[in-house]
Amino acid sequence: MRSRRPLRALGLVVAAVVVTGCGLVSPPTSTDRTSAPTSSAPTATRTASPSPTPAPTPAGRPPGTDSTRRPLATVPDVRPAGFTVPPPGSGTSRYTRQPVDWTDCGRGVQCASVLVPLDWSKPDGQAITLAMARRPSTAPRPKGTLFVNPGGPGGSGIDLVRGFAPPGLGAYTIVGWDPRGVGESTPVECENGTAMDRYTAIDSSPDSAAETRAWIQANYTFGRSCLARSGALLEHISTTDTVRDLDLLRQLMRSPKLDYLGFSYGTAIGARYAQLFPKNVGRMVLDGAVSLGSGGVSQAVGFDRSLTDFADWAARNDSALGGSREAVLDAITGLWDRLDATPLAIPDGRPLTQTLAVTGTISLLYENAEGYRVLDTALTRAVRGDGRALRSLADQFNRRNSDGSYGQLNYAFPAIRCLDGRDGGVQGALAGWRADRRDASTFGKYFGPDFTCPTWPVAARPGPTGSPDAKGAAPILVVGTTRDPATPYEQAEAMARQLDSGRLLTLRGEGHLAYDQSACIRARVDAYLVSGTLPPTGTVCTS
């Protein structure tokens, strides 16, 4: 979904709920709720996993509902855009010594590209390309570099820099980058066009064995399309890979410490960085936390809370959906149930399905109450038989373009999170769905089982197994919003507890992310980043 606020528009690409199989999905859990350089030989393939691993599933056969492991495939020798030879030299020093040539790319922003190793354990092998952007400080005495990341996984840091110039941070040169696999950097590529239309519309909350098999097959086919187009890149786009890239960018920017502002999944990048490089942490702020360890609640619970908030608002504001919370919720779920049986025809031939209706609904639950009137109108029209507005919200959320193509985030998102996840197979996904249905009365059912990673063709590479406490790091400010649906507040509480130097700052409010919707939060975040002044323990903002 697009927002008039550039930060929140990018923040919507957070680790969120599975509604399309390649759209927004839950962070990885223990049940998966969420290599050598390539050669030029066109026939070269190899198993997509380090040893030891289970044998690959035979080609063309998706896993069954009793599966406890991924159906691993072989890696084709393809070279996505940005695959190249490494810089001159040897070892990692060949990358730290490379020049960074900035050029003007409009709107007061400069752009550059640098190289990083595809596999950090083999720096003399294949290289890939990272794209960067910076907004130079205009202050008389610039402070240094502030790295920013909008979330995702798969959000573009370049796009964020182009629309992000908060007055309180003008002393910084603000730098963003498209992480590996994303946007203008070497990108993950998958199926597109009509194949994605089918994938984003298919029933993702199955009611029968046949529908379950169809949902498994759809995810399996999608994953294979990504492997066929992206090859070995899929094995090397984990959060840990991105964190190693970020430390290289810090060195290339001549920053002795990493000052960092991360939103949504960008908080996971920041926390993992602090875990791996605690002594390199400068001033770090993490808004909309995605906890690396245990703790928090599922996003089905978070979105149930937000849907209840919307229903209360609709009942107070004379919505045609109903005059009470219960009536509004019944109208919405009744619509979804009817669409499950009979999608709503739209003149262009692409109907509003149950999955698209759920997607369209959650798209505006990321917002605070300012988005409710638009959501109320779209739902009311759909109840009355016109599904165009609700499908349009789903299309914006899924980043479907006017020509029928889809934004690249749809591919980077599952590829990154599935590499980060742990493999519980289809059985693990079904167990997770049962837990969601127990804990969240509405979205627990309609989000359905997350089969994206259990059918992914590449083995998981979870991050470090040690404690995420980042002992030795400078203070890290963690920001949480009490009614955030996508990154529930409990995740911020958990992250602040896990980090040895964590400090929690709270916004009592609605919507996803706090920095751009609260002057109180902005003032305290800016004060820490610019002057090092932390808010007092227990600070709560209400506006």
Give CA–CA dist 427/412, Å, rounded. 25
Find the radius of gyration of the CA atoms of the chain. 22
Give CA–CA dist 262/539, Å, rounded. 20
Beta bridge partners of 110: 104, 134
Of 512, 516, 518, 526, which residue is the catalytic one? Answer: 512
Neighbours of 156 (CB within 10 A): 27
Answer yes or no: 236 catalytic.
no
Residue 308's H or E segment, with its range, is helix 299-316
DSSP 326: H
- Sequence-separated contacts (24+) of 83-89 with Cβ below 8 Å: 83/38, 83/118, 83/126, 83/127, 83/128, 83/129, 83/186, 83/233, 84/115, 84/127, 84/128, 84/129, 85/127, 86/115, 86/117, 86/123, 86/124, 86/125, 86/126, 86/127, 87/115, 87/127
Q: Which of 493, 44, 41, 88 is nearest to 291 (CA)?
A: 493
CB within 8 Å of 209: residues ≥ 6 apart? 65
The dihedral through the CA atoms of 180, 186, 187, 188 has a sign that is negative
Of 178, 450, 484, 526, which residue is the catalytic one? Answer: 484
CA angle 382, 384, 386 (to 5 degrees): 50
Token pair in block for residue 235: 């094995």
Token pair in block for residue 426: 């289809």
- Beta-strand ranges (E) seen in 223-280 are 258-263
Of 35, 137, 264, 319, which residue is the catalytic one? Answer: 264
Q: Which of 360, 298, 234, 216 is nearest to 485 (CA)?
A: 298
Position of tokens 């990321």?
366
Note whether 229 and 80 are within 8 A (CB). Answer: yes
Give CA–CA dist 171/177, Å, rounded. 19
In angstroms, what CA-CA distances link 329 with 16, 303, 361, 398?
Answer: 21, 13, 12, 24
Neighbours of 258 (CB within 10 A): 25
Kindly list the catalytic residues.
264, 484, 512
